[in-house]
């Protein structure tokens, strides 16, 4: 099973609306052109730049016509209430039964359970899951049986080393780690927020962040300096859960023509 993992579109309105919307559109076209196609598209937050209703209406326009299932979690730039209202007639988001003002939910695919978590905190840049959502995660992991489990959220639970980013990570990462320690390792923890690809480990599971479809953060590893954005190519991740262990590919949105062939075809898995 393939999953297209996109993040940090920062859709906005007004004079600066064109670039993030077009780049998001280009990324969606690229995902759908993959062969074979992913089973779904996962968006790990910051779909909007300010969380305004008009931004979600524009995002809905960009998403219109996408043939694949799309699942979204909120980021620190999002507004969960506005997002839920804008996508009420879609399957993009779902309100939590225990906390209707928050957007966390489960989606099951064949042999794969995906837990979509809401780490957003209104008006703050850091993330927090909270006790109720952590209990929900614990329950969902306990009933996963033989299915592989993926957890998707916006904020990073472990330090990235990137200047300006680690003061806005997941505040209750220690509590999440305690929950995950009671269960077998996850197949992946999918995150956004960092605006560049990064792979690390947390609670015995692989954590991987998607690049932004809009703009990338500077790889600044000096903690005494401020963070910055740089003009690097936008992209997304493609996760292949048909392999054991799972594989993750970084995919640039813009693809050039083939330059030649190599190797021999292999038999289908």
User: What domains are there in the chain, each with its CATH number?
Assistant: 2-252 (3.60.21.10)
> Whole-model pTM?
0.95
Q: Tell me the residue ranges of DSSP E strands in the chain.
A: 2-6, 40-44, 70-73, 105-109, 112-116, 148-152, 188-191, 198-202, 205-209, 216-217, 229-230, 235-240, 247-252
**Rounded to whole angstroms, what are the CA distances from 207 to 21, 56, 98, 118, 198?**
27, 28, 27, 17, 8
Q: Please state at what angle helix 131-142 crosses helix 173-180, rounded to 10 degrees.
A: 20
Cis peptide before 102 (omega within 30 of 0): no
CA atoms within 13 A of residue 144's CA, in its CB half-sphere: 29
Task: Walk along the chain (269 residues) and give the pLDDT tens digit of each residue.
Answer: 999 999 999 999 999 899 999 999 999 999 999 999 999 999 999 999 999 999 999 999 999 989 999 999 999 999 999 999 999 999 999 999 999 999 999 999 999 999 999 999 999 999 999 999 999 999 999 999 888 999 999 999 999 999 789 999 999 999 999 999 999 999 999 999 999 999 999 999 999 999 999 999 999 999 888 889 999 999 999 999 998 899 999 999 998 788 888 877 776 65
Distance (Å, whole) CA 39 – CA 107: 12
Tokens describing residue 268: 């289908």
Residues in Cβ contact with 7 at an 8 Å cutoff, skipping those fewer than 6 apart = 43, 44, 45, 46, 75, 154, 191, 192, 193, 209, 210, 211, 212, 213, 236
Under 8 Å between Cβ of 62 and 43: no
CA atoms within 13 A of residue 115's CA, in its CB half-sphere: 26
Tell me how many degrees the CA angle 18-60-105 measures, rounded to the nearest 5.
Answer: 130
């Amino acid at each position: 099973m393939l999953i297209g993992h996109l993040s940090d579109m920062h859709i906005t309105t007004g004079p600066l609306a064109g670039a993030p919307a077009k780049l998001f559109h280009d990324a969606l076209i690229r995902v759908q052109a993959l062969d074979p196609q992913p089973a779904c598209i996962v968006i790990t937050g910051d779909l909007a730049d300010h969380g305004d209703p008009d931004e979600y209406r524009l995002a809905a326009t960009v998403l219109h016509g996408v043939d694949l299932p799309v699942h979204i979690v909120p980021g620190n730039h999002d507004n969960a209430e506005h997002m839920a209202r804008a996508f009420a007639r879609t399957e993009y988001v779902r309100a939590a039964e225990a906390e209707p003002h928050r957007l966390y939910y489960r989606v099951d695919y064949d042999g794969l359970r995906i837990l979509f978590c809401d780490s957003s905190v209104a008006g703050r840049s850091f993330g927090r899951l909270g006790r109720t959502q952590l209990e929900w995660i614990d329950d969902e992991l306990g009933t996963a049986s033989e299915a592989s489990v993926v957890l998707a959220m916006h904020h990073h639970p472990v330090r990235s080393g990137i200047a300006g980013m680690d003061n806005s990570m997941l505040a209750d990462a220690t509590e999440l780690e305690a929950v995950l320690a009671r269960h077998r390792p996850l197949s992946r923890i999918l995150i956004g927020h960092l605006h560049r690809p990064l792979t690390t480990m947390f609670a015995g599971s692989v954590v991987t962040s998607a690049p932004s479809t809009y703009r990338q953060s500077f790889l600044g590893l000096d903690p005494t300096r401020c963070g910055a954005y740089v003009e690097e190519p936008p992209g997304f991740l493609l996760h292949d859960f048909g392999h054991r262990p799972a594989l993750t590919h970084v995919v640039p949105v813009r693809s050039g023509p083939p330059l030649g062939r190599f190797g021999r075809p292999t038999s289908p898995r």
